[in-house]
Amino acid sequence: MILLRRLLRQPLAIACLAVITLVVLACVFASLVAPYDPYAQDLANILSGPSGTHWLGTDALGRDVLSRILYGGRVTLFGTLQAVVTYVVIGVSIGLIAGTIGGIVDSILMRVADVIQSIPALITLLVVLAVFGRSETAAMVSFGIFASAGLMRVVRGVSMIARTEPYVAAGTVAGLGPFQILWRHIRPAVIGPVLTQVSLFAGIAMLVEASLGFLNLGVLPPAASWGNLVSDAQLAINRQQWLLVPTGGIVALMCLCLTLLGIALRDTYSSKSTAGGKSLSSWRSFAATMRRVPATPAAAAPALVSEYSQTAGREILLEVQDLSVAVGDLTLVDGVSFDVGRGETIGIVGESGCGKSMTVSGLLRVPPPGATISAARLTLGGEDLLGLSEQQMHKVRGKRIAYISQEPISSLDPLHVAGRQVAEAVRAHRGVSRSEARRIALELLASVRLPDPEAVYTKYPHEMSGGMAQRVAIARALAGEPELLIADEPTTALDVSVQAGVLDLLVDLRDQRGMSLILVTHDWGVLADVCDRAIVMYAGQIVEDAPTADLIAAPRHPYSAALLESIPAKVAPGVLLPMIGGTVPAPADWPSSCRFAGRCRFATDDCTHAPIPLTPTVTGVSRCVHVDRLEEKEAADAVTTA
């Protein structure tokens, strides 16, 4: 609808649509509008030229040219339609299959397309006509098949790109099935380019049909088609040149209008396209299986046996052990282990590129293209998520574990109103009727404190502010009544004035619903205010995991300490903000020993020989051999302060 509305804002497109519609209707209803019988001859009035009685003149047998154009149009338009339908059915279905399934299926289908495209279409048409006894239907269907290879490539390309759109990934994580994703999100992305291609192809197919008629390979005289009318006009050209004007003109006019309409559609479509973005959003929408690996005791155990994990009465909801994400030989997340208790909030903190988002992608089993995930243990409420098939995991995502991204607007599909996207998730998870889903969606929009849920329901993402869109995304995440909500930097892209409101909302929803929260953040203020426990990540590993208050008061890893020292709020006015020298190394440069050693003021030779395991500290766990030096420093600082 948006496409149509935008198209109708272009005068040239309106004119082309009007001409095409008028001509098609006049041909379809030729028996009502044509002034004469197309076969009626008036031999006393041949090649007469335009007159009051014959507006477009008569042909060499005195037949009315206007009537023959209208009746002949039926044949040409029907032939064109046959080619277009074949082109669309084959091109769209194979393009969608190749683009959404990918892999070997895609390779095979694209090789088939290569073969089809390498066959010379016109020569093959002549063969088809010879074999099928001049059947125009066989010729036009064959032409549709040959041309469909081009459409296959277009649809495949668009659906591959659409598959990586943030709102498609968000839909997958929200628990929508592959067919719902295909119908709701990929189909609208494909419609624009398909309509453009169809319009351009229809012009070409019409020319091909007219050429067959011109060469007397289509319907035979006295039946009319636009092609054989041009042929008749050409035969009479020495006696009456006018005849070529209406017969050739109608073909030229229709081809021109179809081509201009195709160009207008293309412009409309490309101005509508939206940009993608980073995070889970730019990742693959159809998730991966997960490899089970044996636990490595040194890496996994300490995080799970820390004093905090053993707190009496603490009920563990999520347990992650030795989670790794790799792209080829490159490990991006390296043996991450932690757990989340029911109703708890865990913060994951670290500089950009430390693997926070990738850890979340691993948990959800939605890795970036080409990445593999492995873990020794992954359980939710005691259920082994590692053993689940992708179909079963799909039911967990969105329903039991929900996700909200840092890009609220791009996580919503620009083509659907907000309420519909929330209602769609409600239906996917609760299996209720449309009207019930609408009612629940309105309730959810109200629960995220949107002032006028009815009005928000009908808004498109581009009509919303970032804060409003994030509340809609949260409402959608709540559709499945999740036990765990993962929020990847949920306030980063928002205006400072609305950040606090969104965080308060998350905390209130957590408390009201008894949900657990995993917050990925760069912001220590958020950690201090909201999180029970903080997990500090550096270069794909957990380097410290401790209750937030303890970690902030006395960090047990030099990286945590350095991050805390560089918080602007902790630095006195006029004093230069301490910065951590250097940057996080790229995954290919991660050493097997301490990864922070190159930037660490405590680094010694001990740090650069062998992998450093996580070891228990008085507050949690730390991956540092100099924890005692940090503790000494803490004691010295305490004395100085006193």
Write down the least CB distance from residue 246 to ligand ATP, Å. Answer: 60
Of positions 153, 587, 619, 627, contacts ligand ATP by CB under 6 A: 587
Binding of ligand ATP at residue 188 (CB under 6 A)? no
Of the ranges 79-87, 223-231, 348-356, 436-444, which one interacts with ligand ATP (CB under 6 A)? Answer: 348-356
204 vs 12, 106, 136, 234, CA distance in Å?
Answer: 20, 28, 16, 21
Nearer to ligand ATP, 302 or 353 (CB): 353
Closer CB to ligand ATP, residue 293 or residue 327?
A: 327
34 binds ligand ATP (CB under 6 A): no
> Which of residues 199, 357, 411, 447 is near ligand ATP by CB under 6 A?
357
Whether residue 59 contacts residue 75, with contact meaning beta carbons closer than 8 Å, is answered with no
Can you tell me which of 350, 398, 490, 555 binds ligand ATP, judged by CB under 6 A? 350
Alpha carbon distance 55, 287 (integer Å): 65
Distance CA 128, CA 124 (A): 6
* Cβ proximity of 624 and 603 under 8 Å: no
Which residue from 392, 248, 250, 402 is spatially nearest to 318, judged by alpha carbons?
A: 402
Tell me which stretch binds ligand ATP (CB under 6 A): 198-206, 347-355, 389-397, 551-559. 347-355
Size of site (CB under 6 A) for ligand ATP:
13
Cβ distance to ligand ATP smaller for residue 492 or 593? 492
Which residue number, 48 or 411, has a Cβ lying nearer to ligand ATP? 411
Contact assessment for residue 409 and residue 466, using Cβ atoms and an 8 Å cutoff:
yes
**What's the distance, CA 5 to chain centroid?**
23
Minimum distance from residue 360 beta carbon to ligand ATP (Å): 8
Closest separation in Å from C-beta 536 to ligand ATP: 11
Residue type, 201: F
358 sits near ligand ATP (criterion: CB under 6 A): yes
Residue 356 makes contact with ligand ATP by CB under 6 A: yes
In the bound state with ligand ATP, the residue whose beta carbon lies nearer, of 232 and 407, is: 407
DSSP assignment of 491-515: TTTS-HHHHHHHHHHHHHHHHHHT-
Closest distance to ligand ATP from the beta carbon of 328 (Å): 9
534 forms part of the interface with ligand ATP (CB under 6 A): no
Give 141 or 486: the residue with its C-beta nearer to ligand ATP.
486
Query: What is the chain's Cα-based Rg?
Result: 34
| Residue whose pair of structure tokens reads 């590993």 in the numeric block | 541
Question: C-beta of 545: minimal distance to ligand ATP in Å?
Answer: 16
CB of 150 or CB of 350, closer to ligand ATP: 350
246/75 Cα distance (integer angstroms): 17
Collapsing DSSP states into helix, strand and coil, what is residue 518? Answer: strand
Q: Considering only the stretches 145-153, 163-171, 355-363, 601-609, report the one whose residues sit in contact with ligand ATP under the rule CB under 6 A.
A: 355-363
Q: 52: how many CB neighbours lie within 10 A of its CB? A: 5
Residue 327 near ligand ATP by CB under 6 A? yes
Torsion angle of C-alpha atoms 11, 14, 18, 21, degrees rounded to 10: 160
Q: Quote the least distance from Cβ 355 to ligand ATP, whole Å.
A: 4
Q: Could you tell me the two tokens for 104?
A: 């070997």
Hey, which residues between 120 and 139 contact ligand ATP (CB under 6 A)?
none
To ligand ATP, the closest distance from the beta carbon of 184 in angstroms equals 25
From 129, 145, 198, 332, residue interacting with ligand ATP (rule: CB under 6 A): 332
CA distances to 320, 485, 522, 526 from 517, in Å: 15, 5, 16, 13
- One-letter amino acid at 414 equals P
CA atoms of 377 and 358, how far apart (whole Å):
17
Interface residue with ligand ATP among 341, 355, 453, 461 (CB under 6 A) is 355
Which span (11-19, 51-59, 177-185, 352-360) binds ligand ATP, by CB under 6 A? 352-360
Binding mask 361-380 for ligand ATP (x = CB under 6 A): -------x------------
Does residue 353 touch ligand ATP according to CB under 6 A?
yes
Exposed (0-12), middle (13-18) or buried (19+): which is 515, by Cβ within 10 Å?
A: buried
H, E, C per residue of 301-329: HHHHHCCCCCCCCCCEEEEEEEEEEEECC
- Interface with ligand ATP in residues 467-496 (CB under 6 A): none
> Whose structure tokens read 């190159």?
598
| Nearer CB in complex with ligand ATP: 358/621 | 358
DSSP state of 159: H
Residue 466 Cβ, how far from ligand ATP at the closest point, in Å?
17
The first and second tokens of residue 31, run together, are 């028996």
Shortest Å, Cβ 450 to ligand ATP: 27
- Give the residue with the Cβ less far from ligand ATP, 416 or 595: 595
- Give the one residue of 118, 271, 310, 352 binding ligand ATP; rule: CB under 6 A: 352
Q: Which stretch binds ligand ATP (CB under 6 A): 193-201, 204-212, 345-353, 453-461?
A: 345-353
Minimum gap (Å) between residue 584 Cβ and ligand ATP: 7
**d(C-alpha 603, C-alpha 629), whole Å:** 11
How many other C-beta atoms lie within 10 A of the C-beta of residue 6? Answer: 18
Alpha helices in 50-186 (DSSP H): 65-101, 103-118, 121-131, 136-163, 166-173, 178-181
Q: Which residues bind ligand ATP (CB under 6 A)?
A: 327, 332, 350, 352-358, 368, 586-587
